Structure 1
């Protein structure tokens, strides 16, 4: 099986593609930006997704820094109600990075 082939795009563009090139991740980010902080179950119900799928994607989004938790991750205990919160500045950065890689300018 072929391995991962690096591109000349760089890590920032690869991160933007990884996050913004996934339908479920984009749907979760869009929901959080439009509706504010939400519980995993609220997100799953609103998007018509299985909670386990949402949970795994939330982990990827947390690792990428495009969402955060309330309470903060270090304060979460088993059984805690965790709300997920979009980090608009990080999302904007990824969006602009991808646009720049595509040669998109805002003055068209």
Structure 2
């Protein structure tokens, strides 16, 4: 079997190609891949989506995550556009930032992920035993 590896595409080592994003993925699907790529990012976005605007200190306490891990991921998620910080980056000196999910980006990301997985969000999910025979 001749499997193309990530080594052919850059510095990722020998990760099989199927583990890498495809070139034709939409920006929203790439965003979803980046958000769910680490448990910390997924937890942060999930918490903010569920609870609304929140301070970093609250995220650290509620998610039981290391302060530097939360800070690094908040910055990365803001760069990706999925989070919005208030005040904006240039105005944060000495001020606490309130973080929230960018609803437009979140909706686009969720739709792209559901489409990619073949999930129809209009149809209720049934358990296998619930199907008509």
Gaps of 5+ in 2: 1-5, 124-133
TM-score of the superposed pair, with normalisation by structure 1:
0.84
Alpha carbons 1:9, 1:101 under 8 Å: kept:
no
Aligned residues: 107
Structure-2 separation of matches of 1:7 and 1:41? 36
Alpha carbons 1:66, 1:90 under 8 Å: kept:
yes
Structure-2 separation of matches of 1:34 and 1:90? 15
Say if 2:121 is the partner of 1:106: yes
Gaps of 5+ in 1: none
* CA offset digits 1:52-103 (Å, max 9, x no partner): 00011101110111111111222221x2211111112211211111111122
Alpha carbons 2:54, 2:100 under 8 Å: kept:
yes
User: Match for residue 14 of structure 1?
Assistant: 30
TM-score of the superposed pair, with normalisation by structure 2:
0.70
User: Match for residue 50 of structure 1?
Assistant: 66
Deviation at 1:8, TM superposition (A): 4.1
Say if 2:91 is the partner of 1:81: no
Deviating more after overlay: 15-24 vs 90-99:
15-24
Say if 2:47 is the partner of 1:31: yes
Say if 2:85 is the partner of 1:69: yes
Following TM superposition, where does structure 1 have runs of at least 4 consecutive aligned residues deviating by more than 6 angstroms? Answer: none
The structure with the greater share of residues assigned to helix is 1
Structure-1 separation of matches of 2:110 and 2:88? 25
Superposition RMSD on alpha carbons, in Å? 2.0
